[in-house]
Amino acid sequence: MATQVRLAAAHVAPIFLSAHETTHKAIHLIEQAAKNKANLIAFPESFISAFPIWSALRPPTENHDLFQRMVRESIHADGQEIQAVRATARKCNIIVSLGFPEKARTSSATLFNSNMIIGNRGDVLVHHRKLVPTFFEKLTWSPGDGYGLRVADTECGKIGALICGENTNPLARYALIAQGEQIHISTWPAIWPTRLPSQPVAEKHNPQSDAMGKSNYDNVAANRIRAAAHCFEAKCFGVLCAGMLGPDAIDIVSSSSSSVKQSMEQSQRAATMFLNPTGAPMQGFVIDEVTSAQHSADFLQAREGILYADVDLTDCVEGKQYHDTAGGYQRMDVFDLQVNRTRQQPVRFTDTVDLQPDQVPHKGSKGRRD
């Protein structure tokens, strides 16, 4: 296993509600990261091809058309979009972590918030569906299951991923820690508004507050705190990969509503960054595609790009002297966590084998031999 690993996090926006175009964008970014010698590239939550932010900003009665578009532009886990990404990962010899709204084969409208870790040979290493949709996401996504609570054992270390609010779930996080996770990917949406502004921004002291002075959710701090806690407890590196909000998303979601548009434009943008095994921020870098020059960057927030970091996996070892939360710092005689990793299905059929007429047992013939 290699100990020197180059990580890449794509801080990018989808081509909103276009699975075909967003897949092409993902393929270009994978090729770009591979050219820059990255071993792993992570994409944001629900990247192909939309995060359903409209459910936070508009009443459900106004969102039927957007939900139908969401269903149409979501993808199957074995569909052509994923096949194209897998082929690119294999061609470029790079590991890919991809967030996507997943269509189910068992329903015309069931969607999951999914993340897939694809190996550098194009094989699916982990296919995870978010356990519990958070807040307004329940209007779009169904609950997942424990099938994807797995760590991919790769040539570049043991890699795990959780989606957004799952990084608040201590049991889900521990399930990955207990598999020896060395690189933890956490994926996030571009914005997370919890309050609509009721006055023009110019009249307000704080554009993140509503008319009552109550602040919007600080998703930058919340994301960093949760990811840092996990890195500290797991003694692993953290990849925080957040999405960008493109102007196409603002136009489509806001439609003719000025208040929705204002809320989207003024909402705090999430940040993409790296953390070390103590939970502290790491300095990353961006690479100029023309000159190949590297420029230091602590995070990406206001502009699209790929953030890189070079890490040494041996740095995951020292901290375990102090707290190995799935080893010497755990009391397995006191605590017992059981995780059901069965893929759940809506129905299980048991079919009776068709019998020939001469095979049908006669009434009263049980145990009788002629």
b/e for 107-143, b at 16 or more Cβ within 10 A? eeeebbbbbbbbbbebeebbbbbbbebbebbeebbbe
Superfamily of domain 4-202+216-322: Carbon-nitrogen hydrolase (3.60.110.10)
- pLDDT tens, position by position, 86-124: 999 999 999 999 999 999 999 999 999 999 999 999 999
* Residue 322 CB burial class (10 angstroms; 0-12, 13-18, ≥19): exposed
Is the separation of the CB atoms in 220 and 190 below 8 Å? no
pLDDT at 270: 98
Query: Which one, of 73, 67, 71, lies nearest residue 54 by Cα?
Result: 67
- What is the crossing angle of helices 219-234 and 170-177, to 10°? 40
pLDDT at 213: 60
Q: Quote helix, strand, coil % in the chain, to nearest 5.
A: 30, 20, 45
Query: Which one, of 225, 205, 223, 226, lies nearest residue 214 by Cα?
Result: 205
Count CB-CB contacts under 10 A for residue 318: 11
The residue count of the chain comes to 370
- What is the crossing angle of helices 247-254 and 258-266, to 10°? 150
Q: Which residue ranges make up each domain of the chain?
A: 4-202+216-322
Question: How would you write the pLDDT of the chain (370 residues) with one tens digit per residue?
Answer: 889 999 999 999 999 999 999 999 999 999 999 999 999 999 999 999 999 999 999 999 999 999 999 999 999 999 999 999 999 999 999 999 999 999 999 999 999 999 999 999 999 999 999 999 999 999 999 999 999 999 999 999 999 999 999 999 999 999 999 999 999 999 999 999 988 766 554 444 455 665 556 788 898 999 999 999 999 999 999 999 999 999 999 999 999 789 999 999 999 999 999 999 999 999 999 999 999 999 999 999 999 999 999 999 999 999 999 999 999 999 999 999 999 999 999 999 998 776 666 665 555 545 444 4
Helix or strand or coil: residue 222? helix
How far apart, in whole angstroms, are the C-alpha atoms of residue 275 and residue 45?
18
Q: What is the pTM of this model?
A: 0.92
Query: Which one, of 347, 355, 361, 341, lies nearest residue 128 by Cα?
Result: 341
What's 343's DSSP letter?
A: P
